[in-house]
Every structure is written in structure tokens, then in C-alpha cells.
Structure 1
């Protein structure tokens, strides 16, 4: 399938095409580049122009550059623009303009990637669906996702994130969603904002990009919900609420039974029951919001609920694995990709509801939560007071900030306090065992994946079961 021809890309970017080429994909990384991709020579930690020759040798169909790197053949297939990032944005803008796909954009302090994956699982069974890869939700991830969108798409799901004020609105205006969903507002990136209300206003900026007559799917259960609904009114978007306090998609109950969450809700089409093949109140909430978004896009609500029942979290985002050990199994809750106070509370609630085997225990392996501003230490210490902590048997802490939690815990719950994930990973085999349920969670920079890998490495052979990732 041809995604871009040289004349199309030239017209989209205002650049100059060298050669007559066609590409079937768009890539920014030579490690994952597929033959036929357009390689985009972005400059980040390294200048992408240094890898153009390698990309072409690996079969790239062309390269998007702002200068011709040394050593290329005179007829190397190129698209030459003044600025590579702006060129990628232009491709994204053109891809959005040429498709008739119904577009949904998702943001939120917690749960946007999982919700995006829920939406992909539901919509892909009702039409050709294009979605963001992994957590490609920033200033290059959003235009890259758009530039990769086939023109024949029926649905598109764009994840939008932020670290600082002013980031979301330009990306939302690039995506031009018909539906925008805000999962929640919580303390995250507080060092860049003066308050949670400031975070709410930034999340609400996704509504600046909503198409005329569009729909805002909003969490109705937050202290900051009035900010979100006021922004919808300001932008002329129809507001649709989800949650226990919502009028439109009202959560009646979410019952966790083993590895499943059973949900009862009221919707504009009447009562609805649906299930998730993973435990978690937060998954139930985001699932309900995702169903509201599907309906807003024109998808069949019951078919979407049936598809949602087959979705499971993927690696690092709440995936559940059972690992064979001598004498039994260990259950791993891999939520290691990222963390803030709200997502930490949700993950600990899942751990508290888990059922250890035999004499097993509920064990948390927790790393520092970053970018929380001046309240960092109190926010870490406050985890000790969460209701879920009453059911947790032992907490192993990683990093200087988690030292505040370690000190706040009752002595009988205090586990190891380590400076790094690598240090704790080397000791995990001594402090966990068969029958235990182990949660691993922390900010991405803390490298909790090392602990996850160490737990998997304790297994005898392959994991007995592993959720789809």
C-alpha cells in the first residue's frame, strides 16, 4: 500500500523531492524502520541526518531531510524541507485533511494509553482503524501518527500528552478530532503547573481542536470536572459525561471478581452490562468513557462492549502474568511504565483486590514518582495512608523520593529501600516467592522494567500465562 508518493509529499510540505519515489510507511528510528518507509531525520538526542545513509541501506523508500548528508548517492531519494519537524507536521496535517476517517483524540493525567488501546480494540472490529503506536503522544508523536494514517481509514485514535503548559492545544488543532476524551485530571507534571486546576485547564485545551459540532467525552467525577465542562461550552462542543456522577454514561457498579471486572452502567440507550478481562476500578471508568467515545463516533455500542471484553492491558500498563516457580506460581502485575499519585492509587487498589495463593502475600515494588513539584515528598508519604495499603503485606521502595513512603509505612510493611531498580532486582529472589502477588510500578526513568525482568527470570521455563501485550 502506498502511503505517500514523491509529488504528494512535496505538495504537502512545500519541500523539494529528489527522485520519483513512493513510500508505504513513516519512521523516525532506523532500528524499527521497515523497507519502504520514509525515514524522518529528526534531531533529538542525535541528529537524524547522521542515520540517513543507514536508513536507505536498510531499504527506506526515501528520507525527509533539511540538508543533504555527506556520502549519499547523487540520486538518493529525498524530500528536502527547511525544517524536518515542521515537514513532519505538514505531512500529518495533509494526511488528516485527505481522510474521511472519524477521529477521536484522548488525553488525561492517567489512563490515556490504555484507553487508546481499548478504543483500538473496539473500533477495529467495526472498520479500518488507525491508532497511535505505544505512547507517541508528544510534539513529534502526534504528527508522526497522523502522517502514518492511511487515507482509507474509517476511524483514527490520536493520543495527546503534555509536560508543560501550552502543549496540548496545537496538537489537538493538528489532529482536528470529531470526539475528544479526557480520562482524568490528577497530580502529574505538577512542577510545571501551579495547581491541579492548571493541569485541568491544560487537559481541557484538547477541546480547542474539536471539529465544529464535535463531542467532548468528559470525566464527571472530578473536583475539576466543572473546568472541563465549561471549556466544552466555550468551544461549542457537546459535552457527554461518564462516571458515577454523570448524566449520560453513569457508572452504577464495578465489581472485581478474580481477574475480571464486571460493570453495570446506565447509558443514553438504556442499561448496559459489560466486562473487562482485567481487574481495576480505573479500567472500568476508562472503559465506560471509551464506550461513550465509540458511540459518539457512530460505532455500534453493544458490538463495542463485546470487543472491550476481549481487551487486556499490555506490558508495563497493568498486564498480569503468572510465572512458574518451584512450589507454585507468582502473579506479576506489570504496571512499570509510569507513575503518578493517581495511577499509583489505582494500581495499589488492584493489588489489594488480588488473591494470593496459599500463604502468599501482596507485595508492592514501587519506584519514585517524578515531576511532582514542591509537594513531592508529602505526595510519596501519602501513599502510606491509602485504604489499599491496609491489604498490602510488604512494600519495597526504590529511589530517594520513595524513602518518604518507606519512612511513613508501619514497620511491619517496610521492605527493602534501594537506590536503584538494578540494586533491588538483584535481591528480589530473596524477598518474593510462590503464591505472592507482586506489583511493580514507578516513573519510567526509574527503570522498574529491570525488576519486572528479574521476576520473570525467576520462572522455571516460560510463564504459565501472560496477558496479551
Structure 2
């Protein structure tokens, strides 16, 4: 975090300052800010956030032992450290992030990019950060730090030397993106797609569309909306941009897109396409598996080129990215049995895209195996969406469908009803049972997709399979 005095932090968070030891209101704090006491280092600020399973106030003493010099708390704690008592620790974290980013922006050349979409946020964030890091100090989220805690923690990492802040905005309910993006008013707002992810929390895809448009509404005056021309619901956000006096930069596969991809090819070692920006065309060979990641790359290129990075530099840097993120289309195993671990997150759209990728990269004589778990946060749509994925897996001629977990049982039943034969589809209640089956079932030439939402825990099954067949 940039240097702030205890008094300035107290003012930013609307808190009551309780001094300890030799501290005064003018004592400067420059350390990192975190809600996890295990991440403390000398000079850090610990935010004691109450949680569902435990309470951060119980870990203040441990944070101090690890080096914390300030605790932001909701009630005074018996610990040898200066404290700022606030009404709501999560809100205080957001308020502090707003103040820090505003100060950096006012005295530097900080450019802020916000990214949202039903799928692809983390991949796009990583691709864009890879491009921009060679241009200047770039701050981007660790993993998927995109919620009411993770987004402010990312913002608080900016310094006076930071040139780019890339923020990822997720949401589980309407208004969440507006609150997070409103903290910083981005210069660029990237909207990737509107799909069924989190539809249960939003109340349907129309409500999801409205929620994603909150990023465009939060753009600062003169900002730019970077929109997916191939997604009609995203394309409709051009009207929202116009109402904000924001420019629109399009990416997609059609001729009208400002940044477009043609000649897309999917193969076992990655994805290739030709990218055109204006009169310049370049061949892009991504090591990231899946045609759906082409759109994520286009979004990153559209933003970077608007920031003045050449297409040639974008392509060169993107081609150094080996995986988007751990557990996201991550190749494991060996050439003998290839495991694709994509079980960090899942929605109907990403599940369908991953299954299509599996079918596309499997050569004649090789066998497709899909290990599938539940898709979470679909609410009333869960049943029909799991049915649809089970049917799709059969229609894509996936040769072995392994369904894991009671929450995904309808996917299994739909695959059987669609025309599964000769035990093509099998069901296991636990990942351990599925692992035991797969260790004995998999053979040379198998290409195996492991895909589920994070809550299903299949990412660890993917890791075990990758190790077993390495």
C-alpha cells in the first residue's frame, strides 16, 4: 500500500483510532493489507473480517506476531497493536481501496481496466496482465480475487509507480459489480459474455445481462467499453456506453469488429488464429487449449492496443503464456494419457466449450473421456442445464462419460437417456470412487477432461490423475 498515516487511514475508513505504544496519528503505514493473518509480514495491516466459519478478530494476536502494525476491527481487541474500530470491516476495506487508488491516480498516469463476464474473466485478466507488464508496473488479481474482499485487496496493492491496474469483477447478485467498479471508475470496461453462470443468484439471463452492464455504467467520463460483438447481449451494452459518453471498442470474429479473429484452429497443444487490428494481421499461436479462449485473447488485445501496445507486441507476449491459470484447461499427465484439468469453475457455457475442445483435440484412434461434476449457482435452472450438458456429451460422441457426485446425477441420467450404450456413462458418488475406476479404466491414447465447479472438488481428482499418468 502507498504510505498513509494512521490518521489518514482512520479518516478513509470512518473509524475510531486507538493508538498503541509509540504510535501517533502521524505514524506512517506502508505495508500490505490483507484479511488473512497467515499473509502478514512486517509492517502489514490486518483487516479482521467476520466470516461464516470463523471470525478474523480471533486472529489479531497472531497477525501481530507475524508483523502486523495495525488492525482494522469492528470492536476493540486485546492485542498489542494500534487499532481502527469501524462499523463494517469489509466496507472499510473498500473505502480504503477507493482512497488509495484515487490518490495514486491523481498524481500519476494510472490506467484502470475492469473485466467482467459470465466466463473467461480470470483468463482474460492473466492474458492482459502478461501483455501490459512489459509496458510498466501492472497490478492484477491473484487467482480469482474478484469479490467484495478480493477486488479491494488487489486495488490496495497499487503504488505511485503503478501504470496499470487490471481488476476482475465477479458478482453473485445485482449491484455487486456496480459497487466494486464504483470504487475506481475504470478507464476501460471489458465485458466478455453473458451466460448462465450464477443465473440462480441473478434470477435469469436477462438479469445477468443487466448486472454485467453495471461495469459499463461505472466507466469514468471519456472511458471505453470493450465489448464482445459476437454476443448479442453484450453488444446491446453499446447503448449503455453511449449514455455514459463512453467509446466502444469491439472484438469478435465478424468483419465489423475492431479486433477480430479468423482461421481459428484447435489442436492438442493449443489454439491458433489470425488476429487483425486495422490493417495489421498476425498469426497468434496460443498454448492455452480451447477455441473459447480466442475471445479472451481478443479482449486482451483490444484493450492493450487501445492503450498503445502494438499488435506485434501483443502476439509475441501472449505466445509465452503456457496456461491461463492452475485448474483452467491445465494439461497434465503425459502424451500417453493426457489429462485436462478444468475443474476450478464451471457454467453451462464453459462446460459446453470444454467438451467441444475435448472432441476437437482428440485424434483418430484416441479415446475421449469426460469426468464431469456439478455446476453450482444455477438455482432453479440447475436441473435443465445439467440435462443439457449430459445430452451434449453424448451428441459429441464422448466415448466415456464419468459423472461424479449426487449434485450431478441428473447429468448422468440425461446422458443415459440420450443414448448412452455399453456403459458409456457411469456414475460415482465420490471422487475417490471415480479415481479408483479411472486408474483401472484409462489406457494409452485417452484424452481426459476433468470439469466441474470449484465446490465439487474435482480439481483435486484431476491433479491425482495427472500425477498417476505423468
Contact in 2 for aligned 1:377/1:401 (Cα 8 Å)? no
In 2: Cα distance, 1:301 partner to 1:95 partner: 32
Aligned to 1:378: 384
Contact in 1 for aligned 2:45/2:68 (Cα 8 Å)? yes
The 5 A counterparts of 1:81-92 are 81-92=86-97
Instruction: Say yes or no: does 1:9 pair with 2:9.
Output: yes
The 5 A counterparts of 1:8-407 are 8-15=8-15, 16=17, 18=19, 19=23, 20=27, 22-45=29-52, 46-70=54-78, 72-73=79-80, 76-99=81-104, 100-245=109-254, 246-311=256-321, 312-323=323-334, 329-355=336-362, 360-386=366-392, 389-407=395-413
In 2: Cα distance, 1:288 partner to 1:430 partner: 41
Contact in 2 for aligned 1:21/1:62 (Cα 8 Å)? no
Return the offset for 1:65. Answer: 1.6
Aligned to 2:429: 419
In 1: Cα distance, 2:217 partner to 2:251 partner: 20
Contact in 2 for aligned 1:367/1:448 (Cα 8 Å)? yes
2:406 partner SS: coil
Contact in 2 for aligned 1:7/1:17 (Cα 8 Å)? no
Return the offset for 1:215. Answer: 0.4
Tell me: CA distance 1:3–1:305, structure 2 relative to 1, closer, same or farther (3 Å): farther
Structure 1 segments (4+ residues) deviating >4 Å: 1-5
In 2: Cα distance, 1:364 partner to 1:194 partner: 30
CA-to-aligned-CA distance 1:367-393 (integer Å, 9 cap, x gap): 011222323222112124438852421
Q: Which moved more, 1:160-169 or 1:32-41?
A: 32-41
Contact in 1 for aligned 2:267/2:361 (Cα 8 Å)? no
Number of equivalenced pairs:
452
CA-to-aligned-CA distance 1:136-188 (integer Å, 9 cap, x gap): 11112212211222232000100000111121111111121100101111111
In the superposition, the TM-score normalised over structure 2's length comes to: 0.90
2:236 partner SS: helix
In the superposition, the TM-score normalised over structure 1's length comes to: 0.90
1:266 partner SS: strand
Q: Which moved more, 1:52-61 or 1:25-34?
A: 25-34
Contact in 2 for aligned 1:181/1:289 (Cα 8 Å)? yes
Cα RMSD for the two superposed structures? 2.2
In 2: Cα distance, 1:413 partner to 1:293 partner: 47
Tell me: CA distance 1:424–1:225, structure 2 relative to 1, closer, same or farther (3 Å): same
Tell me: CA distance 1:423–1:36, structure 2 relative to 1, closer, same or farther (3 Å): farther
Contact in 1 for aligned 2:371/2:403 (Cα 8 Å)? yes
Aligned to 1:466: none
Where structure 2 has 5 or more consecutive residues not aligned to the other structure, the ranges are none
